[in-house]
A and B are shown apart, each in its own frame.
Chain A
Amino acid sequence: MKTYIAQRLGIAVLTLFGMSIVIFVLLRLAPGDIVDVLFSAAGYVNPAEKKAILQELGMDKPVWQQYVDWITQIMRGDLGKSYRYDLPAWQIIRPLIPVTVELAILSTIVAVVLGVPTGVISAVRQDGALDYALRVFSLAGLSMPSFWLGMVIILTLVSWLAWIPPLTYVRPTENFWLHAVQFMLPALAVGYRSSALIMRITRSAMLEVLREDYIRTAWAKGQNERTVVWRHALKNAVLPVVTVIGIEFAFLIGGLVVTETVFNLPGVARFLVEAILWRDYPVVQNLVMFIAIIVILSNLAVDLLYGVLDPRVRYAS
């Protein structure tokens, strides 16, 4: 187990290293540098001023040095400076993190609560009418852009219930219920989409487990359907589902990027979009790296968790 963890950690570090190069190169491909963008509103750039800013950004140094500087900066946990706000990026991002984390957790809960039971029922009623209906329901979730679903939810509330969701972020301390509603709507939009993946994996895992000998034994003992399906079968089928929830995490962040924009929630994902649109490259570079680290750590956590949950994995590797 120890070598397994060490191996996984080593791979994670190498992957992150490679990713930092990809991100670094990608953003150097961008046309026009940040100074031009910053000054495009003014229409005139003072050459001396431009040089000063380039120097401050470290962009007058050779490319490899810029990369090394960036890595050392990241290693120190420094997220750099936002040029749009003229503030350290961390100061802007820190208050945004709870919003995104809350939304991510709520969406995951929606996805699991919706995905696991429908997957189980679908598998038990394989090829029946209910199975078809549930599969179409989950595929529909996978097919609708979550940001559009969000817009439709808002539109329905406005035109049918004449209720307008708060336009700005409401703190839980200000008005808890309004805050809860404000977060539940986007969580439903994102979670419904994510539930489709969980439902499909649960269904196929259940189908496999339900054909195993120990399930037949359970039936033979005369246990009722509820015990066989939900107690015996689900316990083993849930393992692959855990992996999916981990993979889901990357998928979820993708969904949040647009959903936070639609619901006007001040989260990290929306900030990333804004930073990209403003060409606030130092922030984009660091935020993307930050996301990469979280995704890789969550994958690692799932891998290790899998080893804990399933002894077969622990010894096979």
Chain B
Amino acid sequence: MAVRPVAELEFAAPATPVRDASWPATILRFARRKPLGALGGLLLLVMALTAVFADQLATHDPIATQASATLVKPSEEHWLGTDHLGRDMYSRLVHGARVSLVVGLGSTLLGSVLGGIIGLLSGYAGGKTDLIAQRLLDILQGLPLLVLALVMSAALGPSIHNVIIAISIPIVPRASRIIRASVLSIREMQYIEAARALGLRHLRIAFRHVLPNTVGPFIVLVTAQLGAAILVEAALSFLGLGVPEPYPSWGRMLSVSAAEYAQKAPHLVLFPGIAISLAVFGSNLFGDALRDTLDPRLRGA
């Protein structure tokens, strides 16, 4: 945010990965230096494992309704109780991790890759191309993320694919801006000048020599946006414009029906919200720590 001297930006060393250490050692060091980041990483890992092994972890069919056991309080049979249709909340939450992760990660990756390519090309090309690309992206950024995703998913119709597309589009301008910023400084490096002196084609320089050096900011970007994407998915599904039934989505579990029965069965409201919050909290903590480690220049941005 603050005005920094140009020289600092240009001569700042690119993010240097730790070279000498093995994987476990690197992770241990990260955990010692950034305990909160490690906690975030752990939360994300738990979520990912839950999503992968949802079928094994679930105790009931997440979609099966049971008229004889609606709004049951948490018990031995139903660990986290049942909803108004008698569906097992624990099993639904476990399967919901899958939906949240697929939609969150899918839309973040799609938006970041698209935005990243635009940022790479426009930053590398510079001049008028860059200016026009940036102005066009301004257009997309002028709308609140949720409003744009809301209109897009309404326009595209309810399906998992469409939700992923709807959430990814607002991410594109944000991603392109971050990648472009790092491309601008990489572009001025001597090895790029050397590549040019060798007579390499521009596209080759952009993708083979500039692109690999944006990996650090790219990873930071993805982890930072993941939380936001999960939140938008939850909000869309809550409003009935996200992931359609019968997929158990955390946001949908909180929607109108839950609010209606909230007084009789508070567990309907509590648990899905806690799941969303923990997942987003994890990716925020992890993203912050990664940013500090991989790209100190962006600290606090």
Contacts and interface: CB of A to CB of B under 8 A. Distances in A.
Given A143-B227, A155-B262, A295 B269 contact: no
Given A29-B155, A208-B2, A240-B2, A276 B241 contact: yes
A205 B3 CA distance: 11
Given A158-B263, A257-B147, A139 B281 contact: yes
A295 B144 CA distance: 8
B12 interface: no
Given A151-B254, A151-B262, A257-B150, A204 B1 contact: yes
B277 A31 contact: no
B231 interface: yes
A161 interface: no
A25 B156 CA distance: 12
A201 B36 contact: no
A203 B259 CA distance: 37
Contact of B269 (A148, A207, A243): A148
Contacts of B262: 151, 154-155, 158
Nearest to B1: A240
A292 B143 contact: yes
A200 B300 contact: yes
Interface stretch (B63-71, B134-142, B200-208): B134-142
Contact of B154 (A15, A30, A261): A30
A276 B227 contact: no
A152 interface: yes
A181 interface: no
A251 B143 contact: no
A24 to B, nearest CB: 11
Given A139-B288, A148-B277, A201-B1, A207 B300 contact: yes
A245 interface: no
A253 B144 contact: yes
B232 to A, nearest CB: 8
B273 A140 contact: no
B238 A147 contact: yes
Contacts of B135: 11, 14-15, 18
Give the residue among A22, A279, A296 with the most B Cβ atoms within 10 A: A22
Interface string B227-245: 1000100110011110000
Interface residues of A, number: 65
Interface string A135-159: 1100110111101110110110011
The A interface, classified by DSSP as helix, strand, loop or mixed, is helix
A18 B238 CA distance: 30
Contacts of B276: 144-145, 148
A31 B154 CA distance: 9
B154 A151 contact: no
B271 to A, nearest CB: 11
Contacts of A145: 231, 234-235, 238, 251, 254, 273, 276-277
Interface in B252-301: 254, 259, 262-263, 266, 269-270, 272-273, 276-278, 280-281, 284-285, 288, 299-301
Given A288-B147, A291-B144, A136 B36 contact: yes
Contacts of A250: 142-145
Interface in A261-317: 261-262, 272-273, 276-277, 279, 284, 288, 291-292, 295-296, 299, 312-313, 316
Contacts of A295: 142-144
Contacts of A253: 144, 147
A258 B239 contact: yes
Given A14-B135, A143-B277, A145-B234, A204 B300 contact: yes
A132 B36 contact: yes
Contact of A15 (B139, B277, B301): B139
Interface string A223-264: 000000000000000001001100000110111011001100
Given A145-B276, A257-B150, A262-B259, A140 B281 contact: yes
A288 B150 CA distance: 10
A258 B233 CA distance: 12
Nearest to B145: A254
A144 B136 contact: no
A112 B43 CA distance: 30
Contacts of A273: 150, 239
A158 B266 CA distance: 11
A14 B285 CA distance: 38
Given A14-B135, A201-B300, A272 B266 contact: no
10 contacts: A19-B142, A26-B151, A27-B151, A144-B280, A145-B231, A151-B254, A201-B300, A250-B145, A258-B239, A291-B143
Interface of B: 1-3, 36, 135-136, 138-140, 142-147, 150-152, 154-157, 227, 231, 234-235, 238-241, 251, 254, 259, 262-263, 266, 269-270, 272-273, 276-278, 280-281, 284-285, 288, 299-301
| 10 closest residue pairs by CB, A with B | A204-B300, A254-B146, A148-B273, A143-B281, A18-B139, A254-B144, A240-B1, A143-B280, A30-B155, A250-B144
Given A19-B142, A26-B152, A250-B143, 11 more contacts: A15-B135, A22-B140, A27-B155, A132-B36, A139-B285, A143-B280, A145-B254, A257-B146, A257-B239, A291-B143, A296-B142
